[in-house]
Structure formats: C-alpha cells, structure tokens
C-alpha cells in the first residue's frame, strides 16, 4: 500500500454496545489489527460524526431517533486518529442547540477539526482546506433538509441548496487543487442513486468537484465516473452498531492516494466494531459494487429502478399524511401485512386527490407555502 493516502469513512457513532470501548479508547477492539495498520499509516482520516457529543439530554421534536453520545467517548475518536469530522448530517442537532455546541467544544478541545455545522448558515457552509502531497485539498460538506439545518440566524448543519451550494463548490475549486464534496443524502438502504441525486452529484462535478461521496444511506451503493470526476453513491457505515439490517453489515473506506487515484477498502461489521474484510467478503463486496456500477450506465436503468423502489413506499407516505390512526386500524393492518392499508388508500385517495397532492409537492410555490404553514403550526 502507498505510504501517502487519505481515508474517508462514513458514520462513526458510539452505541450502547461499544460506548465503553470508545470511552477507554480501545482502538484494537473497535477496528482490529489489520485495519488498525491501514488507519495508522494514513496521512489524513475523515469521517462523518452522525451523533451529538453531549452529557445533557435535550431531544428535539423530529421523526426518527434522537441520537446522543457522552462527551467521554471522544477518547475513542482520538484513539482512532480522526483528523476531520463532517457534521453536516441529519442527526447533529438531535439534542438541540446545546448538543451541537457541546460537540464543537469537545472536538475543539481534542484537537479534531470539523466542518459542515455551526452557529449560523455562514459558519456551517465554510469549507475546509489542508495540504496533501504538495496540493491543496478542499472539503465541502452539506446535508439534505431534515431536522438539523442551519439558517442565517440559527445553529445547525449546512444544507444543500442549489442556489448557493454549487457556487460554494465552484469558488472552492478556484482556490484549491482537488475538491471533495461530502453529500449527506439519498434514501436509506437504497443502493442506487435516485434520478435527482444523480443530477445533483453530476452538477457538483460540473462545478468543480473531483470526488463526490454520498453518505447517509447506511449501505454500499455504486460508483459513477462522470467527466473528470468520481461519484460514490453510498459507502456504508464505519462504526454504527444500531441495526441487523443486511445493508449495515458491510462498508467501504474511500482511499485517495498520492497520485490522486481513488480506490476502496472493504469492511465488515463484527459484533460491536468493524474489521477489514477477508478475501471471501472482499470478493462479494466488490463483485456486487461493480455490478451495480455497471448497471447504472444503462440508459433508463436508474429511472426504472427508482420507480420500482418508490412503489414500495407509496402506501407508507399516504398513511403518514392522512392523520392519526386508531389502535384497531393498526392491529388490522398488521394482521393483514399491510394489505388493509393499501386497500384503504386506494379507496380514500381518488385520482383527483393524487393529482392535487402531487401538485402541492411538485410546485415550488405550493411546497414553500405548505412548509411555512406546517412550521407555523409549531408556534
């Protein structure tokens, strides 16, 4: 292996099963001896901190879990040699403003750099630049809009905004030699890009990104070579022992070497940590990764695959927006394995209803007004 290289990994989150290992800084138990050597020899190590580091629970109102890790787990991050964390993700504000402030303070005290979140939008959008092999490397981190986004006057993560983010990348490219964009988005447990995600990532390359890595999906996706850039649509978690879903069992580190060539290091989840994949797992991981990467080259494949994927979620979304359901409804639906909900949705939502809902979401003016009206309901 080359002596000079950058490693980029995704979610690095202490959970109940390994908090003690993080607290003790038990690097070997967390990543094993083979992976430990690769990590040790890296020139720079970049990860996604998908959890606020705080000792105070102050969960925000949101959909999904409110993650939290005690500040003492910083010992694990120090032991792993993390050089830079992106904080641009959908969980960094899970414990409110104080959670983000505590995270930043804890990282600063540990000497670990960070980007992608801050006291306001301007601070959150700031890029990070460092030197590597005589070149200037620029990192830009952003996240899709969920529950963590900064505004001009409030704390949070840097949102992807096509009116601004593309300009940020173009400006960064004018000042550095190599641009890496860490994009926190895409649908969880989906191994292909959506048509829109592909458009976004290609446009980021058009604006100057040399490498775009999509994090958030919790699974290995596929790779696209577009013009002079590389897009990685999902690399899986690094350490995040929170699910037995098959997507969470494998991952990859992205390696950028001193010739600025991109390669991948396959990983497998083991108990409450991660290990370098053996030959059998490596072949399985890379065969599937290459297959998906070839599949997306076919015209229309991404669109067709996403249509099938969307069909699986239609009833879920219609159910979610139709108001509270009775206990009886939930019991019947569970007993019928979802068929009761599907029949109900087809009966309740007529063709004109579907047209109306589509227009409210698709039209910029309607969507903006709907989001503002929903936000007003919190007051």
Q: Which two tokens stand for residue 268?
A: 């497998």
Residue 352 has pLDDT above 80, yes or no: no
Our measurement of the distance from residue 245's CA atom to the centroid of its chain's CA atoms, rounded to an integer in Å, reads 17
Average pLDDT over residues 61-80: 96
Residue 138 has pLDDT above 90, yes or no: yes
Average pLDDT over residues 212-225: 97
Supply the pTM of this predicted model.
0.92
- Predicted pLDDT of residue 2: 59
- pLDDT tens digit sequence for 148-194: 999 999 999 999 999 999 999 999 999 999 999 999 999 999 999 99
Domain with CATH 3.60.21.10 in the chain: 5-298
pLDDT band at 375 (very low <50, low <70, confident <90, very high): confident
Q: How far is CA 97 from CA 52, 126, 222, 301, 372, in A?
A: 10, 19, 35, 42, 21
Instruction: Quote the CA–CA distance of 236 and 253 in Å, as a whole number.
Output: 9
Instruction: Quote the CA–CA distance of 87 and 98 in Å, as a whole number.
Output: 15
pLDDT band at 323 (very low <50, low <70, confident <90, very high): low
Q: Which two tokens stand for residue 7?
A: 């490693």
Residue 353 has pLDDT above 70, yes or no: yes
Among the four given CATH numbers 3.40.50.300, 2.60.40.420, 2.60.40.10, 3.60.21.10, the one describing domain 5-298: 3.60.21.10
Our measurement of the distance from residue 125's CA atom to the centroid of its chain's CA atoms, rounded to an integer in Å, reads 16
Average pLDDT over residues 300-328: 82
User: Is residue 108 classed as helix, strand or coil in its secondary structure?
Assistant: helix
- pLDDT tens digit sequence for 30-39: 999 999 999 9
Q: Are β-strands 44-48 and 211-215 bridged in parallel, bridged antiparallel, or unpaired?
A: unpaired
- Predicted pLDDT of residue 1: 54
């Amino acid at each position: 292996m080359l002596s000079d290289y950058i490693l980029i990994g995704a979610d690095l989150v202490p959970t109940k099963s390994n908090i003690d290992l993080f607290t003790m800084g038990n690097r070997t138990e967390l990543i094993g001896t083979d992976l430990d050597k690769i990590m040790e020899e890296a020139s720079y190590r970049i990860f996604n901190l998908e959890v606020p580091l705080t000792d105070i629970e102050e969960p925000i109102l949101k959909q999904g879990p409110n993650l939290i890790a005690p500040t003492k787990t910083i010992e694990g991050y120090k032991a792993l040699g993390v050089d830079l964390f992106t904080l641009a993700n959908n969980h960094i504000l899970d414990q409110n403003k104080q959670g983000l402030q505590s995270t930043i303070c804890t990282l600063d005290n540990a000497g670990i750099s960070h980007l992608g979140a801050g006291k306001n939008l301007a601070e959150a959008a700031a890029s990070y630049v460092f030197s590597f092999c005589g070149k200037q490397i620029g990192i830009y981190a952003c996240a899709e809009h969920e529950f963590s986004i900064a505004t001009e006057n409030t704390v949070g993560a840097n949102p992807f905004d096509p009116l601004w983010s593309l300009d940020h990348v173009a400006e960064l490219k004018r000042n550095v030699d190599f641009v890496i964009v860490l994009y926190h988005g895409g649908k969880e447990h989906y191994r292909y890009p959506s048509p829109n995600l592909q458009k976004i990532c290609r446009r980021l390359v058009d604006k100057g990104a040399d490498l775009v890595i999509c994090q958030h999906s919790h699974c290995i996706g596929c790779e696209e070579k577009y013009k002079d850039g590389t897009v990685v649509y999902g690399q899986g978690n690094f350490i995040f022992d929170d699910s037995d879903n098959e997507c969470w069992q494998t991952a990859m580190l992205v390696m950028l070497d001193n010739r600025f060539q991109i390669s991948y290091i396959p990983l497998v989840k083991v108990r409450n940590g991660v290990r370098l994949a053996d030959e059998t797992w490596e072949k399985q991981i890379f065969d599937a990764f290459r297959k998906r990467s070839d599949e997306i080259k076919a015209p229309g494949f991404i669109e067709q695959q996403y249509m099938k994927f969307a069909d699986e979620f239609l009833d879920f979304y219609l159910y979610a927006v139709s108001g509270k359901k009775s206990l009886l409804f939930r019991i019947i639906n569970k007993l019928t394995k979802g068929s009761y909900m599907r029949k109900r949705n087809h009966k309740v939502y007529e063709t004109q209803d579907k047209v109306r809902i589509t227009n409210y979401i698709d039209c910029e003016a309607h969507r903006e007004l709907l989001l503002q009206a929903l936000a007003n309901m919190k007051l």
